[in-house]
Amino acid sequence: MREIQFREAVKEAMSEEMRRDERVFLMGEEVAEYNGAYKASEGMLDEFGAKRVIDTPIAELGFAGISVGAAMNGLRPIVEFMTWNFAVLAMDQIVNSAAKMLQMSGGQYGAPMVFRGPNGQAGQLAATHSQSFESIYSHFPGLKVITVSNPYDAKGLLKSAIRDDDPVVFFESEKMYGDKGEVPDSEYLIPIGKADVKKEGKDVTIVSFGKIMKVALKAAEQLEKEGVNAEVIDLRTIRPMDHATIIESVKKTNRLVILEESWPQASISSEIAYIVQSQAFDYLDAPIRRLTQSDTPFAFAKELIDEAMPGVEDVVKAAKASRYEL
């Protein structure tokens, strides 16, 4: 199977859906003339023209609102934010218009659309450009929330998101656009709401999502060398969340470690911990352990970044502590 970059997988997903459905269009800052801030839309302006690949002003609230109106009127917009940190300005349109339109109109108007772009920390970008937004957007009924960790999942889930009749929030990462992975030439879709067991195991379950999945998988490799067989689950979809896959894994391993990039309070790991203790408490042989970013705004200094984010050794330590706890 061929290997392509993450950015190429995103471009292929958008381009294939635009060829398939003339209602689909892309808009956002620098998506057209500049070929995308991260070159995820390279060549799309030449193929589809300026009416379907649209450069916008630096006005996230404005172009998000335009896209919601377009979706209500039968089109299927893809809205690219240069970063989800900037999308804070567009949050009113995402959570008060797109998410609620179907319910508030009594089913007369939907908002089939995708809001996408990079999320989370991307190195030395400091506090206001290094935030993870999964838990915030997953709080709102009416939105579907996806966060991907590799090119294969990016293409398959983005295609599903574009075809979905609900508004979808789609998280990527600046630090993954150059990652390579195997992606089929033939068309495929990945269902929204289905987690993926990246590695099967029997001793402890590690649940994660997004680019920090790399840490989870490296930790599983290290644990294997130390005699601990970890099962690693990539959530892929945050809302709706695949509770069944998590529960079945915990029933098998009897231990759970949750790893995420965001802050601890009101986090995705908090939600997972509640679901597991309410549905599989009797199967737990040790307390649930979670690893998150430190409860502080993100720093600029590399040393403080390393200190704030959980690393491989932190996951290994948590898994082994859970494994050997009585």
Residues assigned a catalytic role: 60, 129
Identity of residue 102: L
CB 249 within 8 A of CB 222: no
Residue 29, phi then psi, degrees to nearest 5: -75, 120
What Rg do the C-alpha atoms of the chain give, in angstroms? 20
What CA–CA distances, in Å, run from 200 to 196, 226, 232, 300, 320? 10, 16, 7, 37, 17
DSSP letter (8 states) at residue 57: -
Q: What is the dihedral of CA 263, 274, 148, 139, to 10 degrees?
A: -70
Identity of residue 57: P
DSSP 137-196: HHTSTT-EEEE--SHHHHHHHHHHHHH-SS-EEEEE-GGGTT-EEE--SS-----TT--E
CB 256 within 8 A of CB 276: yes
Residue 120, phi then psi, degrees to nearest 5: 80, -175
What are the b/e assignments for 51-61, b being 16+ CB within 10 Å?
A: ebbbebeeebe
Residue 231, phi then psi, degrees to nearest 5: -95, 130
Handedness of CA 284, 288, 289, 290 (dihedral sign): positive
